[in-house]
Amino acid sequence: AMGAHGRAAGPHPAGRKAKELIGSARESLARMVGGRPEDIVFTSGGTEANNMVIHTARRHFHESQARLGDSWGTPHIVTSSVEHDSIRLPLEQLVKESLAETTFVPVSPRSGRAEVDDVFAAIRPTTCLVSIMLANNETGVIMPVTELSQRVHALNQRRAAEGLPRILVHTDAAQMIGKGRVDVQELGVDYLTIVGHKFYGPRIGALYVRGPGTTTPLHPMLFGGGQERSFRPGGSLMEPVWVFLPQAAELVSKNWEAYEAHMRDVRDYLEARLEASFGKQRIHLNSHFTGSKRLCNTSNFSILGPGLQGRRVLSHCKMLLASVGAACHSEKGDRPSSILLSCGIPYNVAQNALRLSVGRDTTRADVDLVVQDLVQAVAQLDQDQAL
């Protein structure tokens, strides 16, 4: 496969081989999420896929308006207060430029979820997109996307009769794939974002679109060569896709239940060891919300006490590599995660937060070493505090 350097559009043997490999990658990805190969569009990563959905929803709103000769006004988008920056920042930019209106629905401090009733309360006649992540990257809380899609679908039938724009439904499934069941038929969404490196594949992305350009609109942001049926021209991202992505996707399709069970066992053991080592009074589990399901691999917790900000604890660890929040926007000093604050975690607790993720190969022995490392780091900081 590494020798397939031909252009997929080329008429020569190398081109045919490249086309075949890309087709196989598309099939593997489709199988992994329960879609059809023609519903998969490759992108450079999750950020591009998310931006593409927002761009499409706005374009579709304006085109529908022009076709019907109606004047609905400015497109409106509904999302949650805990989305990834690749959803939040493009929407904030559109608002700043008066190109769209956006409602950021707060999550419930009881459940950590964007509740369906709250999302529905934010919908207006001009709403063209609802985008709610499948699982949060900091708390691990799983959002009620299936119920949301069902209700939007029913609402769209009524809206069509009233001459109102269709509401498209998108979920960013970056965190969930490889750690739990992801089935686009079950979820009922129009768009779903896929990120390769989150399931041990290459650092590229893909967008699932339910019938791109036919059932569901999809508008390119780039114009150039005709790659990806002109939805996403540009050939530079293809080579790692051909080779490693199908393998990573097939592993998920075959083994996700075993991966999930293993990671949940190790994560639960980690939380039990933390409480046993520091005492239940001193550990606050920031990702425990009554009645909410969460990702099997994520533990977000705070070790309570003065001078134990997440960053300070990590800087005193000898072997632990972890983050205090999302790794892709970690230049925030000691300011606590806005996601945790949105979930109702008190400021002084959120400031001490650490987010640990376990992987397919993490063992209980690894957990013992990590907890030991945290105990020595905290003892050192407690001692410094006492001086």
Give the catalytic positions in this structure: 328
- What whole-number distance in Å separates Cα of residue 54 and Cα of residue 42? 16
Place of tokens 């080592």: 277
The answer to whether the beta carbons of residues 274 and 322 sit under 8 Å apart is no
Q: Structure tokens of 310?
A: 């997440």
Spacing of C-alpha 237 from chain mean position: 20
CA torsion sign for 289, 188, 48, 254 is positive
- Give the burial class of 31: count Cβ atoms within 10 A of its Cβ; 0-12 exposed, 13-18 middle, 19 or more buried: middle
Tally Cβ neighbours within 10 Å of residue 221.
Answer: 15
Helix-helix angle 85-96:46-68, to 10 degrees = 40
Print the SS3 string covering 62-86. HHHHHHHCCCCCCCEEEEECCCCHH
Q: Structure tokens of 232?
A: 């996403």
Q: Structure tokens of 356?
A: 């640990």
Tally Cβ neighbours within 10 Å of residue 64.
Answer: 17
Q: ∠ at Cα 122 (116, 123), nearest 5°? A: 95
The answer to whether the beta carbons of residues 161 and 155 sit under 8 Å apart is no
Instruction: Render 190-243 in DSSP notation, one character per residue.
Output: SEEEEEGGGGTS-S-EEEEESSBTTTB----S--SS-TGGGTS--STTHHHHHH
- What whole-number distance in Å separates Cα of residue 61 and Cα of residue 91? 15
Q: Is 58 left (phi over 0), alpha (psi -120 to 50) or beta?
A: alpha
